[in-house]
Structure formats: C-alpha cells, structure tokens
Amino acid sequence: MLTLGILGSGSGSNMQAILDAITVGTLQAKIAIVLSDNPKALILKRAASHGIPHAVIDCEGHKNKFPDYVQIETAEKLKQAGVDLVCLAGFMRLVKAPLLDAFPSKILNIHPSLLPAFPGVAAWAQAVEAKAKETGVTVHVVDSGMDTGLVILQEKLDILPAETADALHKRIQVIEHRIYPMAISQYAHSLNL
C-alpha cells in the first residue's frame, strides 16, 4: 500500500482531505507520519486525534531557512516511517537537495495558483492584486526551484468581480481538498507505487 509522509506548517486542512479520501476509499494509501516545522500547528493536533505518528521539525530558530542538516534528519524520519511519497500540505519552507535527493521525484506540493503564475506565498492575494481574471490550483512535483516542478494536475477558477483575497482563498481551498488526493493517486500509479 502507498505510504505517505505529510509535511505541513499550518491548519492541516489538506492533510485532513487526504485522510478523508483514504477513509472513504478514493485514495488507496496510508499516512505513516506527519511532520511540522511549527510546534503549535493544528496539523499536529489533527494527526494526534487520528492516531497518526507526528513530530516537530526543529529548525532551531531559523524563521524561514530549512537547514541542510535538518532536511537530512527529516528525510531519516520519513524513511524510518517507510514513506514512499512525501506530500507538502501548506509547508512553508523551501525544500532543497538533502530532502530532494532522499526522495527523488517523490515529493508533491499543492499550490494555490495556476503555475507558473503567482509562485511563492499568498498566491491568491497576488492574483487579486494583479487583477487576474482566473487562477486555480496546481499539484506539482517538487524540484529545486520555487513552485517550478512538473505539473501533475491543475484546475482553473474564475476570479469574481470585486472578490477579496480571503474569499478567493476559501474557494481555492475547496478545489485543493478535492484534487490533492486525486493527484496523489494519479502520480503514485504513474510511478507504480
């Protein structure tokens, strides 16, 4: 069975969507471990409430940096848990060589825009500020760039006239929660996992 490791920094709503898809049988997988760089993140509480092993990624005071030695430790935890595929779910640090090398082409990310448009943080706010007519959601393979990897699945969403960034974000999350499990299943099948 496909074994997933989830990395997140926030509420864990995408982790919950993955878990829900597993529960109803639309995603044939299990979540072996949930890791967060934020010790107060709700994603850790969600994992605990479902009996999923979880731990904090200690970046030792680095606000945005993901030090190489911490990435090596993270890769070890994921490997010890038997993870086949790593899913970033609102993980707010840039993954680099140590973790990429440990899981080559086996780390997915979900991003709230139609990449390559609006990479980076708060993509929904970037779209509203740019007065874009449409945006959407992208699931992609993580590579060494920022939101530059191979696209697995995308879905478009029209931006409504006078829509606020917060309102758009809520509509984007509905799509994220639906397509991330689909994309995981599709990609894992393509890799024969």
List, edge to edge, every strand of the sheet that includes 85-88.
54-56, 29-36, 2-8, 85-88, 107-111, 134-141, 151-158
Indicate which residue of 54, 111, 169, 177 is catalytic: 111
Please count the residues of the chain: 193
Sign of CA dihedral 101, 106, 110, 111: positive
Please tell me whether the peptide bond between 53 and the residue prior to it is cis, using omega within 30 degrees of 0.
no
Q: What does 8-76 look like in DSSP terms, one character per residue? A: ESS--HHHHHHHHHHHHTSS-EEEEEEEES-TT-HHHHHHHHTT--EEE---TT-SS---HHHHHHHHH
Give the Cα-Cα-Cα angle 174, 176, 178 (nearest 5 degrees). Answer: 75
Question: Which residues does residue 136 pair with via DSSP β-bridges, in sequence order?
Answer: 156
Q: Are 10 and 43 in contact (CB under 8 A)?
A: yes
Whether 111 is catalytic is yes
Active site residues per annotation: 111
